[in-house]
Amino acid sequence: MSASSIKEQVYQELSRVTHAISNPKRMELIDVLSQKDYSVEELSKEISMSVASTSQHLQVLKSVKLVNAQRQGNFIIYSITDDSVLRLVSAVKELGFRKIAELERLISDFKADKNILESITINDLLARSKKEKVILIDVRPEDEYKAGHIPNAVSIPLAQLKKRLNELPKNQTIIAYCRGPLCVMAVDAIKILNQKKFKAIRMEDGYVEWKLRQQEINQK
Amino acid sequence: MSASSIKEQVYQELSRVTHAISNPKRMELIDVLSQKDYSVEELSKEISMSVASTSQHLQVLKSVKLVNAQRQGNFIIYSITDDSVLRLVSAVKELGFRKIAELERLISDFKADKNILESITINDLLARSKKEKVILIDVRPEDEYKAGHIPNAVSIPLAQLKKRLNELPKNQTIIAYCRGPLCVMAVDAIKILNQKKFKAIRMEDGYVEWKLRQQEINQK
DNA sequence: AATCTATTCAACTAATTTGTATAATAGTTT
DNA sequence: AAACTATTATACAAATTAGTTGAATAGATT
């Protein structure tokens, strides 16, 4: 175990990258940071973990350049390095959601649990918006919307939805989205809207999925 | 730690996928299997590890459906589940090669070491082959070529190259490829060809990279 | 049916990883 | 310059992982 070949070293280094995302909390951190930059303290709340542990996980991610750290006043703000990280996570999810039986079970439980009758994808949205005018609402917290959103989407954070129902039409279909497939904000939004007799559909994909899809389209 | 939320369970499951490839030997196994199906014994030779350990690694990969096992006579033949696995590995490499300083160093050492003067990519090849007739040779073992290769490529395994030089033209540029960026077979081929005064260039990408690129193109 | 062979299982040790609490640090603000 | 605060480092126990050797298994061949 003295002079290992370059090939072995390369595999060693590459596996450091995957090791960094091979922990549920770190994967969740990447997912949260995919929406918007956050401080350590905010992140520790998001992932329900002590600040010290959160910091440690962030350092693991930083050591393989999956995230960047930058001081802003009293806080250190973490952010995703670039879109290649999003593509990596997207590839993991694609494989996981398709292939792992346990995940399929979890997701179908989840759907049953949430009474999701219909849910569309980015591609459905793109097709639909070509044919008709679509009312698209972004129910994530406002700062995440500000950091980036799907064009023509209106920001109505879940917390404000009940008060702002008058801004929405009753005779048109409303499409609601949030952070993506694992996020329940849009589900809750649909529940509220349906209860109030709006025609509302949930879109599973979020801003990140939209952004990646755009890049694919632009690659032509 | 009793009833964890579905979200946490999903992250848990997803991290099992990344954990499976977060080991150098397992990543190497995936890479080898990306070329062609292999038995456990063959794989154990390829990755220089005991059969028992190789088998254990393969079971980890199988448990998250990254590979399939199938009996064929006395042997159990392992194969990559499907192209989503290739995309995942490709995403890891993309990020790793770009972002990890240590990897950049390793690769530049590697290139210096091998005296690689020029090397092209899949895109270069596609562009070139539109303009002119290209002599493309596949220097991998013949069975890997048989399992799949870039169209119009001729199979000349590295081991046979010296004997078969008469099959190649001296006045045209020859492009050689092997398993991909981490493989040295094409490098050795170029050395031989240049020594014998052929005009030869190495293509870094291999059959897998070509296949993924084709899929991107077809997605339009 | 007996033998053979490739593969997997079991048991074990060494090494690594995880998370928490507490202490130290580094930068901001007053 | 002092006080403050967010973040990171340290130390530790519990849990998990990696690799080896030798035994067991399951299927194919004779």
One DSSP character per residue, B20-34 reads: HTSSHHHHHHHHHHH
Distance B211 CA to D20 C1' (A): 39
Q: Does B4 touch chain A (CB under 8 A)?
A: no
**∠ CA B103-B109-B111 to the nearest 5 degrees?**
105
pLDDT computed for residue A74 by the predictor? 85
pLDDT computed for residue A117 by the predictor? 60
* pLDDT class of A53 with cuts at 50, 70, 90: very high
* Per-position b or e across B108-128, b if 16+ CB within 10 A of its CB: eebeeebebeebbebeebeeb
Between A96 and B3, residue with greater pLDDT: A96
Catalytic positions of B, written as ranges: 178
Q: Which of A99-108, A157-166, A207-216, B151-160 is predicted least confidently?
A: A99-108
Distance B97 CA to D9 C1' (A): 30
Residues, CB < 7 Å to strand C = A 19, 22-23, 25, 49-50, 52-53, 56-57, 60, 71, 73-74; B 39-41, 51-52, 55-56, 58-59, 69, 74-77
Percent of chain B with pLDDT over 70: 95
Residue-wise pLDDT for B45-80, tens only, equals 989 999 999 999 999 999 999 999 998 888 999 999
Distance between CA A24 and CA A48 in Å, rounded? Answer: 12
Q: Does B92 touch chain A (CB under 8 A)?
A: yes
* pLDDT class of A7 with cuts at 50, 70, 90: confident
Cα–Cα distances (Å) from A160 to A139, A155, A184, B122, in that order, read 9, 10, 16, 51
Between A210 and A184, residue with greater pLDDT: A210
**Which residue among the candidates A33, A122, A178, A201 is catalytic per the annotation?**
A178
Q: Does B103 touch chain A (CB under 8 A)?
A: yes
Q: Contacts of residue A92 in chain B, CB cutoff 8 Å?
A: 14, 17-18, 88
pLDDT computed for residue A97 by the predictor? 84
Kindly tell me if the per-residue pLDDT of B169 is higher than 80: yes
Q: Contacts of residue B100 in chain A, CB cutoff 8 Å?
A: 13, 16-17, 64-65
Question: Which of A13, A110, A216 comes nearest B103 by C-beta?
Answer: A13
pLDDT computed for residue B2 by the predictor? 27
Residue-wise pLDDT for A125-158, tens only, equals 989 988 888 899 999 999 999 999 999 999 999 9
Residue in the block written with tokens 């392992």: B78
Residue in the block written with tokens 């542990």: A53
Distance B74 CA to D29 C1' (A): 9
Contact B217, B125 (CB under 8 A): no
Q: Contacts of residue B26 in chain A, CB cutoff 8 Å?
A: 15
Percent of chain A with pLDDT over 90: 59
pLDDT computed for residue A3 by the predictor? 36
Residue-wise pLDDT for B106-163, tens only, equals 777 777 765 565 789 999 998 998 888 889 999 999 999 999 999 999 999 999 999 9
* pLDDT class of A218 with cuts at 50, 70, 90: confident
* Per-position b or e across A119-152, b if 16+ CB within 10 A of its CB: bbebebbeebeeeeebbbbbbbbeebbeeebbee
For A11, the closest chain B residue by CA position comes to B24
**Does residue A7 sit in helix, strand or coil?**
helix
Distance between CA B18 and CA B26 in Å, rounded? Answer: 11
Q: Are strands A75-80 and A38-39 parallel, antiparallel or unpaired?
A: antiparallel
Tokens in use for B50?
Answer: 């005991």
pLDDT mean across residues, chain B: 88
Q: How many residues does chain A have?
A: 220
Q: Contacts of residue B49 in chain A, CB cutoff 8 Å?
A: none
**Does residue A164 sit in helix, strand or coil?**
helix
